[in-house]
Structure formats: C-alpha cells, structure tokens
Chain A
Amino acid sequence: MEKFRAFAEFETFYAQFKPLTPQGRLYREARPFFTDAAALKAEYDLAEALAAFLDGARHKADKLRFHLRNIPALELSSGALSGAPGLFLARKFLFNASEIFRLLPAPLRARFGVKWASADLLALLNKGGHGEAFHISDAYSGELAGERAAIAACDPVLKQLREKRLKALRERWGLDFSERDFLVVDEKTSAKLGGAQELFLEPFDGGHVTVKPVYGQEYMEVASERDRLRGCEQELEAAAVKKLAAAVLAEKRNLETYAQALEKLDVAAERARLAAELKLVRPLIRKYHSPIKLAKGRFLPLESRLAAAALKYTPLTAVFAKRVSVIYGSNMGGKTVALKTLAFNQLLAQSGFFVPAASFETCLFDGAAFIGGAEMETAGGLSGFGLEMNDFVTAHARLKQGSLLLLMDEFARTTNSEEAAALLSAILEDLGGQASATAFLATHFSGLKAGKAAASFKMRGFDTAAFNEYFSGRAACGLGEKLKMINKFMRYELLQGGEGEEARDAIKIAGILGVGKAIIRRAQDFMEDKK
C-alpha cells in the first residue's frame, strides 16, 4: 500500500488534511483505508452534512475551528486527574466541547452521536474558572476560604516586618537589601558586621562575604504560621482535587463519547473544508466489480505543478468497463499520469475524502498495489526486473485474500521487447481470469495479447499537424520551453481502443528535446525501411 500511496503522490494531498483536535490528529495518523461501503458512506454523509451546515456560514465555521483547536487531549486516569492541571484540561475539554455542540443544530448533533449530559459537571468545574483560567477556588471548600484569608492576613504583616528590618539595616549598617535577597561585601566591611545579630554572614570567595538579613523572632513566627496555614491549604486543595477528579471520572463514559464525536466532527469538518477549497465531489461507490467511470478527474499534484509553470493541465475522462485495462502510448504521452490520476482518485475515495473530478464512479477494493518505477532500484541482489517480478508475485498472492486494484507502469520495460510482450500477455490473460483482480497496465509495448477480459486504451498522443503549423520558423531554446512545447501539443486524452497500434511519437519528442536533426532524419528513414 505504501508504494501505491507513493505512486499516487498521496502525501501531497494528505499534508493538507490537518485535523485540529488531538483526537482528529490520531485519526489522521491511522490513515484509514475503507473497504466497507457502509462505513465509507457514513464518513461521506458526515462530511456532506457538515459542509451543508457550514456552507456560507463563515462565522460558524470560524467558531467551530476555534473551539476544535482548543480541545485538549483527554486523559481520564486517576493519575492524570490527581492535580489541578488534569482538571484544567478536563474543564477545557468540556467547555470547548459544549460550545461546539451548541453550535450544531439538534439533527446534526444526533448524526455525530452527541448527547450532551455534562452540564452539571461543567458547572462544577466552572466554579474554579473564569475564561480559560482555572484554579482550586474557595468555592470548592468553605475551609479553603478561611485558610486563604488567614494566609492573606499574614502576607502584609510579613511585608511590614521585612520592610522595618531592611530600613533598620539600611540606617545602621548602610546595607540596602530592598531589591536584593543578599549582598556580597568585602572582608574589610564584613569585619565591621561580625557581631550584628540581624545579619547572617557566610564566605563568598577568598576576599568576600555573603550577607543576608535575619528578620527576627516575630517575623519567623508569622512566617512559620503562614507555612502551617499553607500546609493546611494544600491539604484542603488536595481533598478538593480528589472530589473533582471523582466527579470527572464518574462521567468518564460521557467524556469518551464526546471525544469520539469530536474526532468525527473534526475529521468531517476538515474533509468538508478540503472539498470546498479543492472543488472535490462525492464519489459514487458501486458494488464490486462495477465499471470505473472518471469524468474530468484531476491529479492535483501535477495540476498545481503545471499551474506553477504556466502549463496547461488536461483532466482525465475515461470509462473502464472491464477488469483489465491496457493503456498504450508514446513516451511523455501521459500514460503514467493517467494511472496516477486513477490511483489518486481511488485512494482519496477509499480514505474517506471526496475526489477532484466532475464525477467518479468506482467500487471498493480490499487492497491496492503498484508495480513499476523499479528500473533504478536494486535490493537484496535483485535487479529492477527482479524486483518487479517479486512485487508481482506478492501482489498475485494477495488476490486470494480479496479484491485488489493493481496498477503496473511500464512493467518489464527493462527486458527485451519480445519476451516482455510475451510475459505481459500471459500476465494480462491470467489477471483477466481472476475475479478479484482489477488491473491497469500502462505500456509502450504494442500488440499485447490481453484476452477478451481486457480493454485497450491509448493516449491520443502528439498533435503533429498543430505542432508543424506552430513550429514552422521557430526554434525552441531551453528545456523549459521544450517542455512547454511538448505540453502544448501533446494531447493527454485517453481513447478507447489502440490494441496493436504502435506508439509513434518518440522520435518527434526526441527532436523537440534537442536531438540533432540528422539523427532524427536517419531514425525516420529506419522507421520507413522497417515498414
């Protein structure tokens, strides 16, 4: 599947799928591939329903995104709830969840499985909060308020005693501690301070002494009392935390249900956003095996690359009625892009997304595999050809486990054409006889014997007449312009038929790309001789 995803350049799309909640991000990491039509329909329905709700309602969409972004990860263990941070997160989760649910009309809430039943718990947690802030407030315990009032009474006394002592030290010894906890003085100065009861001295280095104020008995008594009160306060806070944690844990099931609903909402909202921004449509899923019908299917990664280079992009329209399809065509004629477009749309559809097409009718496959692009690879002593054969054996074995969408791009291109054609013909015939196989082969080999179960297609290819008319008297210069030239006159359309026809554009393309005129003419002579 990874190779299939890579071939379809799926990551370029998936990188734009950015759920906002931790729950949604976990879903994203799981990379679901739907093989169950009912489950996939449910995903499509949710995205469609949310899209309809948010359509044109910018304010609602912004509000939804704001609260989704503020949903924290939910940890509902007693350990995670043993302190104020855990409760802060529980409140933050509930607050944002409630705002999101309130935003949705009742029928939509029901579709996402939301039954809000935590108003009391949120009200309890809100006693410790205002805005986004939360603390173990006095409202959780009458005693807490008392302890805190007592601590609050200590603080000004301590401050007063401290200031009084610092003033005395300033007046008697000339030491200003007002912005410092301690001072460093030289030995000569420290010698004069030796007997001072209100100062604590200790060595700093060989020539200096650290001096700290000693605040006196009364200060120590108040500070000690404050420490005792703080201890009591901490105990009361811990008891309040325990009660609040118990209240949260009592609603664990509700919170988990909300988390599931938020995951669905987040994912559906992201899918709806992508559908609107990238002009995606809902695919039509038929039973296996049904014809695959793609109308103006776009391969988004290429479309954006071409747009950046100011080149035209041709969407793909095709009906693949049979389970085995062979796509013939010349070099740079768009065979691989046709396969990629199909793979891209199918992957999006089975990953729960709408697709970039005018319409897309397809069926679900239990798996997908891609074989190709191995000519530069070697692994475990296998050549590119060896790797392709190995991949085919693996894919073929999967046919016993369920339906498989198998894409093969220039399969066996690295071996001699005679043997390659024979091998391909045999493989196509075999796949035609396997009900679980739906295969697409793009090749520039001509005259394959694919059997009755296979359909043939060809890329329309290079428009020589238009090229000659345009090109007369002009000279292409850099590679960019040459590519533009090919792009301008290559007709990236898929036509029915083509079996037995040879692709005849390679020499023209070589000419455009700068191969010498003499060589091109000679090559054309050879072609004529062969005829």
Chain B
Amino acid sequence: MDFIKGLRDRTVFIVGSKKNAGKTTFLNYALNRLRGGGGLGALSVGVDGEPQDQVFGNPKPQVRAEKGDLLLCAETALKGADLHCELLNVYPFRTAIGRPVLVRALRPGRAEISGPENNEQLAEVLADMRRYGAGTVLVDGAVDRITQVAAGGKAAFVYVARVEPENLDSSAAAIKLLWSASTVPLCRAGEKLPEPVLIIDGALTPGRLPAKDVKRGTLVIEDLTKIFLSWQQWQELRARFELRCGARPDLAAFVINLANVSRAEFEKRLASPALAERLIYNPYEVTR
C-alpha cells in the first residue's frame, strides 16, 4: 500500500535527521498527494531560520495551499505572503517571529508555516485545526523536535534523512536505532517481566544507563523519541535487558534523500534487508 495514503486522517510529524533534510519539500509532496480526501492542515514546530533548502538547493520551500487548507503562520510572515485567507485564531503566545495565526486559504497561494513553542500550545493548535475541519495535519518538525512526536497521542511520524558521504555511517546508525526502537513492545499491565524492572523517566542518555553490574532484567523507557544513545550503546542495552516502552508512536516511514551516495552503499551500511524494504527513497527521484 502507498504509505502516503496511510497518513490520511492522522497527525503526521515530519522530523528530520538534521536541518534541511528535506522535511518541507516532503510536506509539500505529501499535501499534494493527500488532496481530495478531507481537510488538510499544516504547521511547523520550531523555526530553523535557514533561507535555503540545502537538499535541493532551492530557496526554502513555502507551503503551497489550496482553497480550504488550514495553515499556521506567524503574524509577520502573513504580511508578505501570497495567500488570501481568513483568520480563524490569533494565539496569545508570542514566538520570535510574532504571534501564530491559524488561517484558512480562500484561494490557492503560498505561505511560510510557523508553529508554537511548546507541547501545550501545540495541543491547542492541533485541537483548533481539527475543530475547523482538518482531517490530516502535517507538522513540519525542526531537528530537535522529534520528542514532539510523543505529545501527539496517536500520531504517526515520518523520518526524513539527507544522507551524504560525510554522514553515511551516522545516518545509517541513527536510522537503525530508530527502526530497532520502534519494535520495542509496549509495557502492558500485569505482564510478567524479568526482574529487576528499571523505569527510565525522560531521556535515556549514556549517563542514565544501568550500571554494568546489572546484567539482566527489564528496562522500561518512555518512548523511542527519548533515546539518545549511539547504535552501539543501544545494541549493548538490547543484549542485556528485556525492553519495554510506555508509548509507541507509529513510525510511518523513513524518507531517505541520497546525495552522492548510492542505494547499494547505503543499504550495505544498514546491513538489514528488512529495514531496507521500509525505506522510501527520494520521492522526487525518477528511476528508470
């Protein structure tokens, strides 16, 4: 099944491996593909301030809206935007680029989307978007906002990575870790688990790993967005412990934008045919 269609009627966080991984480009692609199946909404979380999309070298892509689309834009960005719209809400929280404004496009146009600064505000905006008829909401996430996924309830996320020769190994490791973490089962009430059961609240960092003398047991983590370990540390952890998670946001897809790296090279680094099957390579690329 086309994975894009599986995003319909969900809140989809598009998170990236780094700045300019191609998130907004993918967002526009997803918006195009999802049209005609209910209301669409788009916003971002975080402003990364880069004027150019370095994946494709274009000026940073704005979101192209069709009549009826809901967008969250900064007050300042609205003034110069090619968007005739009606305002549905002006939020009282201030961001570095002004108040966020929820708008509905009254005809086709383009605008730069913006976002709130914390999860509480994000929840308020998402609720408003739903109230105003958005079925699918796409959230363009900044690099450090993958954790926002956890705030989205039954949200899905798409991980967009730009892979270049310089970051080939680290990109492959990050993707393998995410993939592996996404398979950690949910912690269920009454389940008999190997003792001791250790619960990690918040971020799982190298400093919070159980001491080496704890050889076995169960480690419960909040969710995969809270894992800040290297691939090697993660592998060691999996070997020592039975792992469980408190929440499991749905990892809908990996979108991989390769630059000067071949698929074969990248998949060799991944060393996982099962994972390779889940990858969506640059959706703009024409393969013959």
* Contact between A134 and B286, CB atoms less than 8 A apart: no
* Contact between B82 and A230, CB atoms less than 8 A apart: yes
8 Å CB interface, B256-288 against A: 258-260, 282-286, 288
Q: Is B89 an interface residue (CB 8 A)?
A: yes
Give every chain A residue within 8 A of B107 (Cβ-Cβ). Answer: 151-152, 155
Give every chain B residue within 8 A of A230 (Cβ-Cβ). Answer: 82
Give every chain B residue within 8 A of A179 (Cβ-Cβ). Answer: 29, 32-33
Q: Is B78 an interface residue (CB 8 A)?
A: yes
* Contact between B260 and A206, CB atoms less than 8 A apart: yes
State how many angstroms separate the Cβ of A142 from the closest Cβ of chain B.
17
Q: In whole angstroms, what is the CA distance A182 to B58 when docked? A: 11
A182/B284 contact (C-beta < 8 A), A83-B78, A155-B107, A202-B57 known: yes
Q: Is A89 an interface residue (CB 8 A)?
A: yes
Q: Is B117 an interface residue (CB 8 A)?
A: no
Of A72, A180, A205, which one neighbours B92 at CB under 8 angstroms?
Answer: A72
CB-based A-B contact count at 8 angstroms: 79
* Contact between A181 and B28, CB atoms less than 8 A apart: yes
**Most chain A CB inside 10 Å of its own CB: which residue of B99, B104, B286:** B286
Among residues of B, the one whose C-beta sits closest to the C-beta of A148 is B84
Among residues of B, the one whose C-beta sits closest to the C-beta of A84 is B87
Q: Is B106 an interface residue (CB 8 A)?
A: yes
Of A83, A135, A184, A185, which one neighbours B79 at CB under 8 angstroms?
Answer: A83
Give every chain B residue within 8 A of A134 (Cβ-Cβ). Answer: 86-87
Q: In whole angstroms, what is the CA distance A414 to B32 when docked? A: 76
8 Å CB interface, A5-34 against B: 22
Give every chain A residue within 8 A of B57 (Cβ-Cβ). Answer: 202, 204, 210
State how many angstroms separate the Cβ of B128 from the closest Cβ of chain A.
10
**Most chain B CB inside 10 Å of its own CB: which residue of A88, A155, A230:** A88
* Contact between B259 and A204, CB atoms less than 8 A apart: yes
Q: Is B12 an interface residue (CB 8 A)?
A: no
Number of B interface residues in the complex (CB < 8 A): 35
Give every chain A residue within 8 A of B104 (Cβ-Cβ). Answer: 133
Interface of B is mostly: mixed
A133/B87 contact (C-beta < 8 A), A84-B78, A180-B284, A189-B286 known: yes
State how many angstroms separate the Cβ of A113 from the closest Cβ of chain B.
25
Interface of A is mostly: mixed
Interface string of B37-59 (1 = CB under 8 A from A): 00000000000000000001110
* Contact between A89 and B90, CB atoms less than 8 A apart: yes
Number of A interface residues in the complex (CB < 8 A): 36
Q: Is B75 an interface residue (CB 8 A)?
A: yes
State how many angstroms separate the Cβ of B183 from the closest Cβ of chain A.
31
Give every chain A residue within 8 A of B7 (Cβ-Cβ). Answer: none
Q: Is A85 an interface residue (CB 8 A)?
A: yes
Q: Is B85 an interface residue (CB 8 A)?
A: yes
Give every chain A residue within 8 A of B283 (Cβ-Cβ). Answer: 180
Q: Is A132 an interface residue (CB 8 A)?
A: yes
Among residues of B, the one whose C-beta sits closest to the C-beta of A131 is B88
* Contact between B87 and A88, CB atoms less than 8 A apart: yes
* Contact between B87 and A184, CB atoms less than 8 A apart: no
Q: Is A194 an interface residue (CB 8 A)?
A: no
State how many angstroms separate the Cβ of A354 from the closest Cβ of chain B.
30
Give every chain B residue within 8 A of A133 (Cβ-Cβ). Answer: 86-88, 104
Q: Is A303 an interface residue (CB 8 A)?
A: no
Give every chain B residue within 8 A of A92 (Cβ-Cβ). Answer: 90
Give every chain B residue within 8 A of A135 (Cβ-Cβ). Answer: 84-87, 106
Interface string of A84-116 (1 = CB under 8 A from B): 110011001000000000000000000000000
A185/B286 contact (C-beta < 8 A), A83-B78, A85-B75, A204-B259 known: yes
Of A72, A185, A202, which one neighbours B90 at CB under 8 angstroms?
Answer: A72
Give every chain B residue within 8 A of A152 (Cβ-Cβ). Answer: 107
State how many angstroms separate the Cβ of A138 from the closest Cβ of chain B.
11
Among residues of A, the one whose C-beta sits closest to the C-beta of B257 is A184
Q: Is A233 an interface residue (CB 8 A)?
A: yes
Q: Is B108 an interface residue (CB 8 A)?
A: yes
State how many angstroms separate the Cβ of A211 from the closest Cβ of chain B.
8
Give every chain A residue within 8 A of B75 (Cβ-Cβ). Answer: 83, 85
Q: Is A478 an interface residue (CB 8 A)?
A: no
State how many angstroms separate the Cβ of B285 from the closest Cβ of chain A.
4
Give every chain A residue within 8 A of B84 (Cβ-Cβ). Answer: 135, 148, 151, 233
State how many angstroms separate the Cβ of A23 from the closest Cβ of chain B.
12
State how many angstroms separate the Cβ of A88 from the closest Cβ of chain B.
4
State how many angstroms separate the Cβ of B91 from the closest Cβ of chain A.
10
State how many angstroms separate the Cβ of A208 from the closest Cβ of chain B.
7
* Contact between B90 and A204, CB atoms less than 8 A apart: no
Give every chain A residue within 8 A of B56 (Cβ-Cβ). Answer: 182, 184, 204, 210
Among residues of A, the one whose C-beta sits closest to the C-beta of B128 is A132
Give every chain A residue within 8 A of B138 (Cβ-Cβ). Answer: none
State how many angstroms separate the Cβ of B81 from the closest Cβ of chain A.
10
**Most chain A CB inside 10 Å of its own CB: which residue of B33, B87, B99, B285:** B87
8 Å CB interface, B70-84 against A: 75, 78-79, 82, 84
Q: In whole angstroms, what is the CA distance A210 to B89 when docked? A: 39
Q: In whole angstroms, what is the CA distance A88 to B88 when docked? A: 8
Q: In whole angstroms, what is the CA distance A482 to B86 when docked? A: 66
Q: In whole angstroms, what is the CA distance A133 to B131 when docked? A: 13
Q: In whole angstroms, what is the CA distance A181 to B28 when docked? A: 9
Q: Is A175 an interface residue (CB 8 A)?
A: yes
Among residues of B, the one whose C-beta sits closest to the C-beta of A152 is B107
A85/B88 contact (C-beta < 8 A), A180-B284, A204-B56 known: no
Q: In whole angstroms, what is the CA distance A47 to B104 when docked? A: 41
**Most chain A CB inside 10 Å of its own CB: which residue of B28, B89, B258:** B89
Of A72, A189, A210, A233, which one neighbours B288 at CB under 8 angstroms?
Answer: A189
Among residues of A, the one whose C-beta sits closest to the C-beta of B288 is A189
Q: In whole angstroms, what is the CA distance A83 to B87 when docked? A: 11
State how many angstroms separate the Cβ of A161 from the closest Cβ of chain B.
14
Q: In whole angstroms, what is the CA distance A490 to B167 when docked? A: 72
Give every chain A residue within 8 A of B89 (Cβ-Cβ). Answer: 132
Q: In whole angstroms, what is the CA distance A313 to B26 when docked? A: 63
Q: Is B101 an interface residue (CB 8 A)?
A: yes
* Contact between A183 and B106, CB atoms less than 8 A apart: no
Q: In whole angstroms, what is the CA distance A471 to B286 when docked? A: 88
Q: In whole angstroms, what is the CA distance A92 to B90 when docked? A: 10
Q: Is A381 an interface residue (CB 8 A)?
A: no
* Contact between A85 and B101, CB atoms less than 8 A apart: yes
Q: In whole angstroms, what is the CA distance A208 to B258 when docked? A: 10
Q: In whole angstroms, what is the CA distance A135 to B104 when docked? A: 10
Give every chain A residue within 8 A of B288 (Cβ-Cβ). Answer: 186, 189
Q: In whole angstroms, what is the CA distance A22 to B90 when docked? A: 14
Given contacts A89-B90, A184-B56, A230-B82, 14 further A-B contacts (CB under 8 A): A72-B90, A73-B92, A83-B75, A85-B75, A132-B88, A135-B85, A135-B87, A179-B33, A181-B28, A184-B286, A185-B286, A189-B286, A202-B57, A204-B56
Q: Which 6 A-B pairs have CB atoms at the shortest separation, nearest pair first?
A: A135-B86, A205-B259, A179-B32, A184-B285, A88-B87, A205-B260
Interface residues of A (CB under 8 A from B): 22, 72-73, 83-85, 88-89, 92, 132-135, 148, 151-152, 155, 175, 179-186, 189, 202, 204-208, 210, 230, 233
A-B contact pairs, 24 of them (CB 8 A): A73-B92, A83-B79, A85-B90, A88-B101, A92-B90, A132-B89, A134-B87, A135-B85, A135-B86, A148-B84, A151-B107, A180-B283, A180-B284, A181-B28, A182-B56, A183-B286, A184-B282, A184-B285, A185-B286, A186-B288, A204-B56, A204-B57, A204-B259, A207-B260
